Amino acid sequence: MSKIRPSKGAPYARILGVGGYRPTRVVPNEVILETIDSSDEWIRSRSGIETRHWASDEETVAAMSVEASGKAIADAGISAEQIGGVIVSTVSHFKQTPAVATEIADKLGTNKAAAFDISAGCAGFGYGLTLAKGMIVEGSAEYVLVIGVERLSDLTDLHDRATAFLFGDGAGAVVVGPSQEPAIGPTVWGSEGDKSETIKQTVPWTDYREGTVEKFPAITQEGQAVFRWAVFEMAKVAQQALDAAGITPDDLDVFIPHQANERIIDSMVKTLKLPQHVTVARDVRTTGNTSAASIPLAMERLLATGEAKSGDTALVIGFGAGLVYAATVVTLP
């Protein structure tokens, strides 16, 4: 018989608060057209994107995260000292070590919270949410801060017609805490590494360091391959998440997919046969693709505008480089 004492965590976990930060600079499509041969109409028709936010030198990954996290902590009605874990999903923090999560935890004033970064691309928020849920139910933390943050303008090739218009910057954060009823459903997640070449960094950092390439690394993708995968495969994953939570599309109030492309969002809505009453996040129009930050930013905006309300049942799904994905059903804070 094991001598280890059983964990004393909460029976369930839930999202208690949400916060977002968008850089002050708003970049319209006209700015993107200065470096690529395209048109505003083409960008809107292919992606739905009208504007995006680009960070200034002062709006670092850490600075944006602290701003978003402060709002989420206040929204949850707790203090920073109560945060026992800080999970940051990002692909655009350029220091290999230490984890930016440790800097954020310190600046927020947590009491030596566990802090670490994860790299799961556009599915990173879902990965972080799942880890936070486990920490709370297991009992290693009472409250966990999950942050999705990106400065993708640093990894954008403004001369790449396929991607120059896609990416934006920003940070979104949620506080996850104890619950007496299920409020974060089972996560359906996974990876398809055989498709990893469809979204990737152009060259390793070492190639740039050693001078074998002169161009700073950027994110590139095979647009049509990604579109087909997202539309057909991710709709199946979304349905699996609904099934795992024991609900149907009719039970949903809100759908918050990764804000990659409005055409992908529209196709998923159609494939899932979502009812008219379901509110669909379309933050991509004015925020662009912010990778790990896109779902919490879209969630924050829906709640702030009143398009969604506390207690609503929402399906969230992230998918991207890897290729990785994560979907779950949550109760909105």
The type of residue at 99 is A
List residues with catalytic annotation.
Answer: 122, 258, 289
How many other CB atoms sit within 10 Å of the CB of residue 30? 10
How many other CB atoms sit within 10 Å of the CB of residue 202? 16
Angle between helices 223-245 and 262-272 (to 10 degrees): 40
Q: Which of 188, 194, 49 minimizes the C-alpha distance to 123?
A: 188
Residue entry with tokens 């930060």:
21
Distance CA 18, CA 2 (A): 40
CA-based Rg of the chain, rounded to a whole angstrom? 19
